[in-house]
Chain A
Amino acid sequence: MRVLEVECLSAWYTQGRTRQPVLQDVTFHLDRGEVLGLVGESGSGKSTLARSILGLHRDWEGRVRHYTPRPQMIFQDPYRSLNPAHTLLWTLTEPLRAAGVPPVQRQERAMALLDRVGLAPELAHRYPQELSGGQRQRVAIAAAVIARPGLVVADEPVSALDVTVQRQILELLMDLKREYGFSCLFISHDLGVIYQICDRVLVMEGGKIVEENDTDALFSAPKHPFTKKLLEAAE
């Protein structure tokens, strides 16, 4: 069962009158329940790929097919991914409101998930400014999954956090993935993180996918020189 199919996607940025190409003929697919890693150096077009797939970046052509409604995204910077004008409870109930969940159930589900991601119930009426980066990212993950999306795109969700917090957040994301059954496109420049959680990996260089393989196969026998270079650099 497919969750996402991308065919010949090319994207660009417009600077004045010139087109600056970012992605060239990207083709891949994502199966239900799968965690697909997308790895590459910064500036290789990983984020643009994610944003194009979700419709947040407009300048692209090709074919993108979603087989589940309302895919969600988890962003890198936990300090800008929560609305500073609203409490955590509001932030968690808003996706449910948008998904048409009746008001009586919203608060209950939000409080249950707040507890599930390891935050005390009294934090529900706090504002994001009063939380640490790790706590904020827990809320951001909760807000992304609460309406039970089929696909969650995580764009470097732990890169801005320190190492001990990183591990906890990754574990939380994987636990929730099992419980909620979403598929995940996981973007990172950190091969260790990719190795830890992904089933399959896409390697991206200069806006093209240069290698694609199951995680174990890719790490044990990389084929493309760029993948080899990345692995050597990580050792």
Chain B
Amino acid sequence: MLLFGGVVSLLTVSAALLGAFWTPYNPTAVSAAEKFCPPSLVHLLGTDNFGRDVFSRVLQGMGASLLIAACVVAIGCLLGTAIGCLCGYFGGPADFLLTRLCDVVTAFPSVLLALVVVSLAGRGTVQIVLALGVLFIPSFARLVRGEAARCRDASYIQSARLMGVSHGRILLAHILPNLRGVLVPAIVIGFNNAILSEASMSFLGLGVQPPFPSLGSMLSDSQTYLQRAPWYAFSAGAAIALLILGFSLLGEGLQRRRRA
């Protein structure tokens, strides 16, 4: 599972990297003469309603998805880990307050919160990254808080306190390295969720703005032409499925290995 997930992830990531530097056609070049070409050797996955090459758009769309997901997970993981560490280690009223705040954020449906952010800050990639990033903080914070609280009571941390090690160094050098085991699978699974969330946001037209390709918006556009150009919907859907498949298998595999 770990190996298969790793291979699929590696393939999708390298395809996305390729798409960032080279695509067979310009993914935004419109050509009225080549509308709805079926897949062929000229256009591997056919063309869409504007005559744009679907393969090129999928490659670049995957890159956009991965980049956005990476930023979202980075925000969620960094802030979540910082909050979780401080709460778990120090405890007290601040811990109570922040934990409840995380519960509140989790209680809202993610699409609703993203809609609020977009209606306040406008549409666009940066806005959606920030909105999703904030939504990803609680899951990391909760996970890290539990681990940090467990560490705090361990005798090796009490020894460190007796030695006169500062709280900051205890958090960074004594507790943080112990979080790697829970954080690595959480990051991979979070990455997966971020790809899905970004796709749903773009599907609703809240994410990456046209004409730039995004898997979610491609899937949404292709609905109209499902009968005339089934390859269009299939390509976008399959790309999302491949991304998710790879990272979810990788994440599950890592988590199982940790439990074993």
A104 part of interface (Cβ distance < 8 Å): no
- Inter-chain CA distance A71–B156, complex, in Å, is 15
A95 part of interface (Cβ distance < 8 Å): yes
- Inter-chain CA distance A78–B165, complex, in Å, is 21
Asked if B161 contacts A56 (CB within 8 A), the reply is yes
Closest chain A CB from B15 CB (angstroms): 36
Tell me the chain B residues, 136-191 only, with Cβ under 8 Å from chain A.
154-165, 173-174, 177-178, 180
Give every chain A residue within 8 A of B164 (Cβ-Cβ): 70, 98-99
Of the candidates B163, B164, B165, the one having the most CB atoms from chain A within 10 angstroms of its own CB is: B163
Asked if A54 contacts B162 (CB within 8 A), the reply is yes
Asked if B163 contacts A82 (CB within 8 A), the reply is no
Interface stretch of the complex, out of A83-91, A175-183, A188-196, A199-207: A83-91
Asked if B163 contacts A81 (CB within 8 A), the reply is no
- Inter-chain CA distance A61–B16, complex, in Å, is 64
Main secondary structure of the interface of A (DSSP, over half): loop
Give every chain B residue within 8 A of A143 (Cβ-Cβ): 159
Tell me the chain A residues, 40-91 only, with Cβ under 8 Å from chain B.
54, 56, 70-73, 75, 77, 80-86
Give every chain B residue within 8 A of A84 (Cβ-Cβ): 178
Give every chain A residue within 8 A of B173 (Cβ-Cβ): 94
A144 part of interface (Cβ distance < 8 Å): yes
- Inter-chain CA distance A114–B89, complex, in Å, is 31
Partner of B165, one of A72, A98, A144: A98
Asked if B162 contacts A70 (CB within 8 A), the reply is yes
Closest chain A CB from B105 CB (angstroms): 30
Tell me the chain B residues, 95-126 only, with Cβ under 8 Å from chain A.
none
Chain B residue with Cβ nearest A95: B163
Give every chain A residue within 8 A of B159 (Cβ-Cβ): 72-73, 75, 81, 143-144
Asked if B155 contacts A94 (CB within 8 A), the reply is no
Give every chain B residue within 8 A of A75 (Cβ-Cβ): 155, 158-159
Asked if A80 contacts B154 (CB within 8 A), the reply is yes
A36 part of interface (Cβ distance < 8 Å): no
Partner of B156, one of A56, A80, A98, A99: A80
Give every chain A residue within 8 A of B177 (Cβ-Cβ): 83, 85-86
Asked if A85 contacts B180 (CB within 8 A), the reply is yes
Given contacts A85-B177, A85-B178, whether A73 and B163 have CB atoms under 8 Å apart is no
- Inter-chain CA distance A71–B160, complex, in Å, is 11
Interface string of B1-30 (1 = CB under 8 A from A): 000000000000000000000000000000
Give every chain B residue within 8 A of A83 (Cβ-Cβ): 156-157, 160, 174, 177-178
- Inter-chain CA distance A56–B177, complex, in Å, is 23
Partner of A72, one of B163, B174, B180: B163
Asked if B163 contacts A56 (CB within 8 A), the reply is no
Given contacts A80-B154, A81-B155, A85-B180, whether A94 and B160 have CB atoms under 8 Å apart is yes
Chain A residue with Cβ nearest B157: A83
Given contacts A83-B174, A85-B180, whether A98 and B158 have CB atoms under 8 Å apart is no
Asked if A70 contacts B163 (CB within 8 A), the reply is yes
Asked if A71 contacts B162 (CB within 8 A), the reply is yes
A218 part of interface (Cβ distance < 8 Å): no
- Inter-chain CA distance A134–B174, complex, in Å, is 23
Chain B residue with Cβ nearest A128: B156
- Inter-chain CA distance A80–B151, complex, in Å, is 10
- Inter-chain CA distance A81–B162, complex, in Å, is 13
- Inter-chain CA distance A143–B155, complex, in Å, is 13
23 example contacts (A-B, Cβ-Cβ < 8 A) are as follows A56-B158, A56-B162, A70-B163, A73-B155, A73-B159, A75-B159, A77-B155, A80-B156, A81-B155, A82-B156, A83-B157, A83-B177, A84-B178, A85-B174, A85-B177, A85-B180, A86-B177, A94-B160, A94-B165, A95-B163, A99-B163, A99-B164, A147-B163
In order of increasing CB-CB distance, the 10 nearest A-B pairs are A85-B177, A75-B155, A98-B163, A81-B155, A83-B156, A85-B178, A95-B163, A98-B165, A98-B164, A56-B158
Task: List 8 additional A-B contacts (Cβ < 8 Å) besides A85-B177, A85-B178.
Answer: A56-B158, A72-B159, A72-B163, A75-B158, A80-B156, A94-B173, A98-B163, A99-B164
